[in-house]
Structure formats: C-alpha cells, structure tokens
Amino acid sequence: MTNPMTRVAIVLNNASGDGAADAARLAIAPVFEAAGIGAEFLMLAEGDDLAAMLTRILASGVDAIVAGGGDGTVNSVAAAVVGHDVTFGVIPLGTLNHFARDLGIPLDAADAARVIVAGHTVPVDVAEVNGRIFLNNSSVGLYPRIVQLRERYKARGIEKWVVAAWATFRVTRRSNPLRVLLNVDGKRVSRTTPLVFIGNNEYRMAGFDAGSRASLTDGRLAIYIVATSGQLGFLKLTWRILTGTAQGSSDLLMLRATEATIDMPHEAAMTQLPVALDGEIASVELPLRYVINPGALRVAVPR
C-alpha cells in the first residue's frame, strides 16, 4: 500500500546527548524537503512528556509520525500511534535496532528517511501485556534482571559491551528459576524456568540469524520457555541455537498462540513482576495477560 503524505512529525531521542539526534536531523531534513513534505522535528530530552507531545502531534493532523532512536524510543512512540490512521516511520539510531532490521529498514538515517518518503506501508502486528505494547519481545526471569543490573553498571560510565557481558555473567551464575503457570490459548502449562520469552511473531532459532524474525504479520505470539539453568546450561542452549538444534530439544519449549497468561500461584505474596518490553523494564501486575493485535500498526517499509 502507498500512502502519500504532506506533513510528518519526527521525534528524535536526544536524551543521551551524544550528538546522534542532531546528526540524524541534518541527514534527514533535506530528504523530506526535497520531496516537498513538511517535517516538524521534536528533540526528545530527558524528562520530556512524550505522551503529551504525541497527543498534540496527532491532533494536528499529520500524515506520519516518525520515531528516531533505539528500540525503546520506537516502542514509546508506536504506543501512541497504534489505533490512529497515520503512518509510522522509523529512523534507527540505537545499538540493536531489532524492529528496523526485521522489517528491512536501512540503518542509515537518510536512507531510512527515503523509505518513509516513498510511502510504501504494511500493517504489522503489535503485541501487548496488560495494556503495554511491545513490537519485538517481552520476557520474565533472567533477562529483566540482566537489564536492571546492566543499567546500574552503565551509570558508572563503563563500556556497553563490558557492562552487558558482566551483567549476564553475574545473573546466569544464580539463575533463580520461577515457578510459573501459563495458559496458552486455553492450554495449561506448568513449569519451573529461569526465563520465559514472548515474541511478537516467531523468532529464528538457528545459526547466526537467531534472534531475527522472518515475518511481523503472522498474527501469533511465539512463547519460548527455557528448561535449562546455570551458566553451563545456557552455554549449551546457545550452542544448540547456533547449530539449529534448539527447537524440539529438552532445553527449550516453544509454543504459538494468540493469547497467553502467565501467573505465579505458588508465590501468593508476589503481586507484580519485572517484565522486559523491547529492552525496557516495567513492573507489571500479575497475572500477565499477553495478546497480539494483527496489523495494528501501519509502518513505512522498503518495497
């Protein structure tokens, strides 16, 4: 589908203060100008009220809202766009840029802007848990703890890759598994697991493509329940993934569903759980109710 546009609003995450947002603005402004499209730039700083900003933008009648930043920024902007008749564009400025990569959106800012200008869109699925959306994945257990520890170390100014490696080492040394009860499209599954990972559509689980998705339009959640624990167990699972032998193994249970619930009835005192949503952590009330909304977000993508 092609959606012509005359006005766009571009939200650039400037919170890091590293100059990436300013450089992106300089790179993409000429692309919209050359196409005769009016572009309003909003430089998002730490503490800004993004929700109020996006409410104003949507009320102004723009044809597209563009998120410039990492997966967390893309998630935050998309949450406001879902349910509105506007195109959603992405300028990938983060470290991983999972959503952009899986849709084939160029990682170069100017090239990504040209994709938006071309106006070709597809309706992609949006998943949510207890009303909070995610475009990539959500998880409970080990990964939220790794992210929380990683953020503490990052505040000390340590290199990102060192922080990530050390946080992963620390957390996997003591996996502290959860006793969870899942209801997956009406099927009850009880497990003791260090990690439950829920994908917005299925993730590849083989070779160096592992961690990417072939489709964001299949209309189903992919639920991965890890059965192994400890550092040796996770190394073994990683090896299985790289060699394409993880699916069907005793280390990993994979289920597909349109709805799923996660609860912890054995932990009566636990009413909330740290949940990772596109790399950001939120404390979410139990039980966790996951659903997928097929085609809920109209995204500008390459032809």
Report domain extents, the chain. Answer: 7-119, 134-294
Question: Which of the four CATH numbers 3.30.930.10, 3.40.50.1460, 3.40.50.10330, 3.40.50.300 does domain 7-119 have?
Answer: 3.40.50.10330
- d(CA 214, CA 204) in angstroms, rounded, equals 7
In total, the chain counts a number of residues equal to 303
**Average pLDDT of the residues in 71-90:** 96
3-state secondary structure of 239: helix
Neighbours of 221 (CB within 10 A): 26
- The pLDDT assigned to 122 comes to 98
Q: What is the pLDDT of residue 176?
A: 77
Helices 160-173 and 142-154, packing angle to 10 deg? 140
Token pair for 46? 């730490």
Residue 298 C-beta-side C-alpha neighbours within 13 Å: 15
Q: What is the pLDDT of residues 116-133, one digit of tens each?
A: 999 999 999 999 999 999
Integer-rounded Cα Rg, in Å, for the chain is 20
Q: Residue 77 burial by CB count (10 A; 0-12/13-18/19+): exposed, middle or buried?
A: buried
**Predicted local confidence at residue 223, as pLDDT:** 97
Q: DSSP letters of 55-86?
A: HHHHHTT-SEEEEEESHHHHHHHHHHHTTSSS
Asked whether the CA dihedral 21, 149, 168, 281 is positive or negative, the reply is negative
C-alpha separations of 142 from 162, 182, 211, 213, 275 in Å: 18, 17, 17, 22, 10
Q: Which amino acid is at 148?
A: Q
| Phi, psi angles (nearest 5°) of residue 124 | -105, 160
> How many Cα atoms sit within 13 Å of 34 on the Cβ side?
11
3-state secondary structure of 272: strand
* pLDDT tens by residue, 177-206: 899 999 999 999 999 998 999 999 999 987
How does pLDDT run across 13-51, given as a tens digit for each residue?
987 667 889 999 999 999 999 999 999 999 988 888 999
| Confidence check: pLDDT of 252 > 80 | yes
pLDDT value for 145: 85
Q: In 3D, which of 163, 132, 100, 125 has the Cα closest to residue 280?
A: 132
Question: Was domain 134-294 assigned CATH 2.60.200.40?
Answer: yes
Handedness of CA 159, 161, 163, 165 (dihedral sign): negative
161-184 pLDDT, tens digit each: 666 665 666 666 666 789 999 999
Mean pLDDT over all residues of the chain?
89
